Amino acid sequence: MRKLNAKNIAYYALLIALNVVLTRVGSIRIGGGGTELVRIGFGGFPIIFAGIVFGPVAGAIVGAVGDIIGMIVSPMGPYMPHFTLNAALTGVIPGLIMMRCKDKGCKTSFVNLLVAIAVGQVTTSIVLWAYFMKTLFGIPLVTILPGRIISQLVNIPLYAYMIKVILSRLPLAIDTK
């Protein structure tokens, strides 16, 4: 994990803003029953990026703060802290998995990124999200899971490729000082 200094706080703020914009404005949202059922977009990318590059704590901060600010700016249904926890875990899980990588080759390995992102996204975007929607709003899993699985089959390799390209182009992003 990187030290919390002004430079890193600025990076976190940029990623939080990007998360809010991509999630709340730059995505397609389909609602039903007073809540959001499906969201198609890239709002999870800044959270995952923060977790992988800056560490799991940064991923948690970007995810949780981004979710809270996004809820204030553009609410879709009632506020549920369950989803804030889910957003934080979206950055924590890949960050924890990628902590074992100490060199640039390991951090930019497509397979390592794919595994870290897949474990995180399956856990948060498919399992936990569907569980929360079922228990909180009574939405049947059969209506939730197919769309979530299909979207993650696209998002996971796309996120891994985008992070690989960014990390290979920005050597300062993986500086462990």
- d(CA 154, CA 157) in angstroms, rounded, equals 6
Residue 1 lies in a domain: no
pLDDT of residue 38: 63
Residue 69 lies in a domain: yes
Query: What CATH number is given to the structural domain containing 45?
Result: 1.10.1760.20
Which band of pLDDT confidence, cut at 50, 70 and 90, is reported for residue 31? low
Residue 128 lies in a domain: yes
- d(CA 25, CA 74) in angstroms, rounded, equals 8
> 96 — alpha (psi -120 to 50), left (phi > 0) or beta?
alpha
Residue 27 lies in a domain: yes
Which band of pLDDT confidence, cut at 50, 70 and 90, is reported for residue 2? low
Which band of pLDDT confidence, cut at 50, 70 and 90, is reported for residue 112? very high
Long-range contacts of 21-30 (CB under 8 A, 24+ apart): 22/46, 23/66, 23/70, 24/70, 24/73, 24/74, 25/74, 29/76
For 72-105, the pLDDT digits (tens) are 998 877 889 999 999 999 999 999 999 998 888 8
In this predicted structure, the answer to whether residue 177 has a pLDDT above a threshold of 50 is no
For 38-72, the pLDDT digits (tens) are 667 889 999 999 999 999 999 999 999 999 999 99
81: domain range?
6-171
pLDDT of residue 176: 43
Inter-CA distances, 71 with 3, 79, 155, Å? 28, 7, 23
Handedness of CA 86, 91, 96, 97 (dihedral sign): positive
- d(CA 17, CA 23) in angstroms, rounded, equals 10
User: How many domains is the chain built from?
Assistant: 1
Residue 32 lies in a domain: yes
* Averaged pLDDT of the chain: 88
Which band of pLDDT confidence, cut at 50, 70 and 90, is reported for residue 119? very high
Residue 84 lies in a domain: yes
The residue with greater pLDDT, 69 or 171, is 69
Residue 177 lies in a domain: no
Q: What is the mean pLDDT of residues 29-38?
A: 62
Residue 126 lies in a domain: yes
